[in-house]
Each structure stands twice: as C-alpha cells, then as structure tokens.
C-alpha cells in the first residue's frame, strides 16, 4: 500500500447504498491505496462491517499521525445505527451519516489535511429526511467552503462537459439560464483548464438550448438573448469561446475541436457524457478552494448489501483527483 502520494479524503456516502461497499472493495483490491494516502470518512461501525464483507481488516483511525499506516478511517459523529437500519433502505439516519461525512471531509480539505475530496454517492431524499437543506453534494460543498459560484464538470479522458444549470426542472431552465450565470460557467471551466491541466488558451464551446440552436429565433430566443451575449462578454475578455452549436450533432461532429463544452442543462450534457464515457466519467466541482471529484452514479439501493457493486467509477474519480493534485 502506498505510504506517499496525494492525500485523498474519500467519503463513503449514504451507508444504506453501495458507497461503503465500493470504498472497501477498492481498498481491498489495492486500487485506492495505489493512488496515494487514502482516508475514508464514514460511520465507523457500518464501515467496519463493509470492510469485513470485503475481506479487509478494520482501518486505523484518524488523521493525526501523518507518518502512520494508510489507508485509514476518519469516523464521523452520527450516533449508533438504529436497529431498523438495513442496506437498501435510506432513512433520516443514513442521510445524516452521509452529510456528516461530507462536512468532515470538506473541513479536512479546508484545513489542508487532505489534498482532494472524492465522494461516493448520497441520496437527496435521505438528506431531506435528515433535515439537511441541500439537494446534493455540490450545493452543500459550496456552502461549507463559503463560495457563491460553483459548477459541475464531467470528465472522461479528453471529454470535458460543464453544466450551466444543474438540478432544476426542465421547465425552469430558460429562466434560470442568465448571461451572468453562463459567463460564470465559462470562467470556472477556463480556470480549471488553465490551472489544473495547464492549457494555455483553452477552446470552449457553448451548446444551444433549443433545437438547431434556435434557428435564428425560429425555435426559441435564448440563444440570441442569453447565450450569444455571454459569449460576447467572454470574447471581450480574450477567451476562446465559440457557439452556440446545435446540441444534437455537436458531440458527433465537433467535440474534438474544443478543450471543453458547456451544456445548458443537466441531461443535455450528461446523456452524451455517459454514453461516450462508458462508465468512466468523473464529476468535478468547479469553484471550490479544494478539488472535489465524484462517481457518476447513484446510491443503487436496489443492489446495496449484495456484494455485487462495481468500484470502477470510484477508482476513476480517485485517479483523476490524484492526477490533478500531483
């Protein structure tokens, strides 16, 4: 197991889902330890059970001994698991554990005790049941880090897609998509490409919102009222930004011409990403004062506790985190 390399804080996610299982599996098969010094933030009792199921000895506790053995477990305070707790059944308790893990890992990142945070999946409904006022990781991490502007980028090798809007009903996308919001997404994307990947003059593409990118107003006005003005602001700053391109053909015909693409809404970006990446896409939160990566799948409550979940996406997220912090 690696005793050097980047320090990766891995949250085990909702304990009723597959998060603890895939974390334990990726430790047991050596793929996580090979990437650096891994600290898992999780409910101690439940993660120990996941380790036993994966054939892994319980991990040493805490971050205080920097020279001690790795990987290790950072227990989070969420109380003893209720008697009714079971894998596959999310609850207020599982939501509180997931939230506590994120808070602890973000705190460690802010204190520079870990170099990056890698998150296993949590469930929005369980968070809500626990009274956690966030719809997901992205919004929670932004609040914990004290930043106003973040964005989600999905990365799979040379494919990089940022979402201009995230978790919002499709009927509300048009009103949520503003010039300033889109300029912010462009800026965050460009900053990531320059600072993390050392791209000197990143080429960024903007997708249209409507069919045929609006067809000069025939199928919608968002392109002329919002997207083009945002692109002009970016170009006035000297940034290499082009578009808006029709979304239905862009990923087939033109994506290789650009370093990143900005999609206007969730499924417009994630359907092609998940089809083209074949399970290797990594979710990166842009705009945080630390690097955060995540799996591209959910809690999979339907298979939790069965020992059949794949840890591949978690390993990809950790691999990207290790590469981008080296």
Any idea where the domains of the chain sit in the sequence? 1-147+288-326, 150-286
pLDDT tens-digit series, residues 264-294: 999 999 999 988 887 788 999 999 999 999 9
Chosen CATH of 150-286 out of 3.40.50.300, 3.40.190.290, 3.20.20.80, 3.40.718.10: 3.40.718.10
**CATH fold group of domain 1-147+288-326:** Isopropylmalate Dehydrogenase (3.40.718)
Task: Return the bridge partners of 211, or none.
Answer: none
| Residue 256: predicted pLDDT | 81
Query: What residues are paired with 40 via a beta bridge?
Result: 10, 73
Q: Could you give the percent of the chain with pLDDT greater than 70?
A: 98
- How far is the C-alpha of 243 from the C-alpha of 68, rounded, in Å? 52
CA dist 219 and 215 (Å) reads 6
Helix axes 228-236, 179-195, angle to 10 degrees: 50
Common-topology check for domains 1-147+288-326 and 150-286: yes
Torsion on CA atoms 81, 86, 88, 94, rounded to nearest 10: -10
Lookup result for tokens 């596959």 = 88
pLDDT at residue 1 in the model: 39
pTM over 0.85: yes
Residue 217 has pLDDT above 80, yes or no: no
């Amino acid at each position: 197991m690696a005793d050097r390399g980047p320090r990766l804080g891995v949250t085990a996610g909702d304990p009723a889902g597959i998060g603890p299982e895939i974390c334990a599996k990726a430790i047991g098969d050596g793929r996580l330890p090979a990437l650096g010094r891994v600290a898992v933030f999780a409910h101690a009792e439940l993660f120990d059970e996941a380790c036993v199921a994966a054939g892994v000895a319980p991990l040493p506790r805490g971050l205080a001994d920097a020279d001690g053995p790795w990987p290790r477990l950072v227990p989070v305070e969420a109380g003893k698991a209720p008697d009714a707790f079971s894998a596959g059944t999310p609850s207020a308790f599982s939501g509180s554990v997931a939230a506590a893990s994120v808070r602890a890992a973000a705190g460690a990142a802010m204190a520079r005790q870990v170099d990056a945070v890698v998150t296993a999946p949590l469930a929005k409904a369980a968070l809500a049941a626990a009274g956690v006022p966030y719809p997901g990781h992205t919004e929670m991490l932004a609040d914990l880090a004290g930043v106003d502007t973040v964005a989600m980028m999905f990365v799979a090798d040379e494919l990089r897609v940022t979402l201009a809007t995230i978790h919002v009903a499709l009927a509300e996308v048009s009103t949520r998509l503003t010039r300033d919001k889109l300029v912010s997404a462009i800026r965050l994307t460009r900053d990531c490409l320059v600072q993390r990947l050392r791209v000197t003059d990143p080429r960024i593409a903007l997708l249209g919102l409507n069919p045929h990118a609006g067809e000069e107003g025939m199928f919608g006005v968002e392109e002329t009222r919002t997207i083009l003005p945002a692109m002009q602001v970016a170009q006035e700053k000297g940034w290499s930004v082009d578009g808006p391109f029709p979304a239905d053909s862009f990923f087939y015909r033109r994506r290789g011409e650009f370093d990143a693409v900005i999609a206007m809404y969730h499924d417009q970006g994630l359907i092609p990403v998940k089809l083209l990446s074949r399970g290797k896409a990594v979710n990166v939160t842009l705009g945080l004062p630390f690097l955060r990566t995540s799996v591209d799948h959910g809690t999979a409550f339907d298979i939790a506790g069965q020992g059949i979940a794949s840890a591949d996406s978690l390993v990809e997220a950790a691999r990207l985190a290790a590469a981008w912090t080296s």
